[in-house]
Amino acid sequence: MKDSPSHNNPLKVAAPGRNNLIGEHTDYNEGFVLPATIDQQISFAFEKNGSPNRCRITSTSLGKVMRADLDLLRPTGGWENYISGVLAELLKRSGKLEGFDVDFKSDIPPGAGLSSSAALECGLAFGLNLLFELGLSPLELIRLSQEAEHHFVGTQCGIMDQFACVMGRKNHFILLDCRDLHHRYIPADLGDCSLLLMGSGVKHTLAESAYNDRRAECRRGVALLQQTFPEIHSLRDATAEHLNALEDSLPSIIRKRCRYVLEENARVLKAVQALENRDMVGLGTLLSESHRGLRDDYQVSCPEVDFLVDTALSYPGVLGARIMGGGFGGCSLNLVRSEAVESVQAGVREAYRDSFGKEAEPLEVRISDGVRVCS
């Protein structure tokens, strides 16, 4: 940057949320994912304040102010942990941070599985990297944002959300290999279809839910497989033949978790083929198969989202549907013929209201660029 932002010229940054077409809970198993960034975002305005260590972080969305001392960062609870975690990881890597003020506001629905937490982490890291000319690479920003969530929030998340937020490209999905972070961009050409999200209004708190348990169960599966197949270092290395060979010795719940991950990895690669072949019917089938796996084998769905999925699939214009995000609430992702979007929205909302007494909020997905400086 040519000039440091001043009071009259703050540094403005936009950090988007993300959807994930397919590939849930595969990232921390060194698998494949297919996310994209969306046009809902967190908007930041950064300024240096001249203090060596005092920071003021204002969330206009929440109507709250956090004051942080760079010399006294520690987990405290709530949204502040995401902030403190990023600051601690930036200091660990650069040591160059000084006092700053930042205001941010979000139009990403919280708890909907759209990675508002990753947007907060990555937007903060990206902006401070520019503001203080820290010289950190995009990959360093991705990794430090992930580690902030591990160390300060307590969610042992994979790397998909942060990677998508930083590396997103307008009108493209990212086929990401979470083993080595090799990636390529897949045009988001859905033909005569659209992606429609339906929010359940059930907010998930991953650190307080079964998310970390699922990761531990996968690690246990790898450890048990290694006893017979030492070449297996993650579920990415396992095959259906490996699971079948240990069918009698693997605990049922561990076998289910492992089977889901293996099948979901295969679905991601098939989804890329479907996109490249413009096979929307085949893509929809994969989405619905993914939901069944998440519901039955990985057991991260909930009655409200199952209802949204099943109700949507009763409409002929819906080609596929599944729960999206870490699970335990959030929203459904629906592949819908564009001409049917309005009728599907109205019908699903009415049925949901009648059954649960609350609204299912719709959101039509538009794929945007990743974190960026904005005017």
**Of the candidates 303, 293, 366, 333, which has an alpha carbon nearest to the alpha carbon of residue 199?**
333
Q: 119 in helix, strand or coil?
A: helix
Q: Which neighbouring-strand residues pair with 9?
A: 6
Handedness of CA 340, 346, 352, 355 (dihedral sign): negative
237 is catalytic: no
* Rounded Cα–Cα distance for residues 268 and 33 (Å): 6
Contact between 313 and 196 (Cβ < 8 Å): no
- Say which residue the tokens 């049925």 belong to: 351
- What is the β-pairing status of strands 32-33 and 54-59? unpaired
Strand order in the sheet with 193-199: 318-324, 331-337, 193-199, 361-364
Burial of 237 (0-12, 13-18, 19+ CB in 10 A): middle
Q: What is the CB neighbour count within 10 angstroms for residue 165? A: 31
Cα→Cα distances 34→102, 325, 333, Å: 32, 12, 13
**Of the candidates 341, 108, 13, which has an alpha carbon nearest to the alpha carbon of residue 5?**
13
* Rounded Cα–Cα distance for residues 272 and 249 (Å): 35
Which one of the listed residues 27, 101, 161, 297 is annotated catalytic? 161
Contact between 145 and 118 (Cβ < 8 Å): yes
Q: What is the CB neighbour count within 10 angstroms for residue 194? A: 18
Q: Provide the residue type at 120 as one letter.
A: L
Strand order in the sheet with 64-69: 64-69, 54-59, 100-106, 35-48, 11-20, 372-373
**Active site positions, annotated:** 161
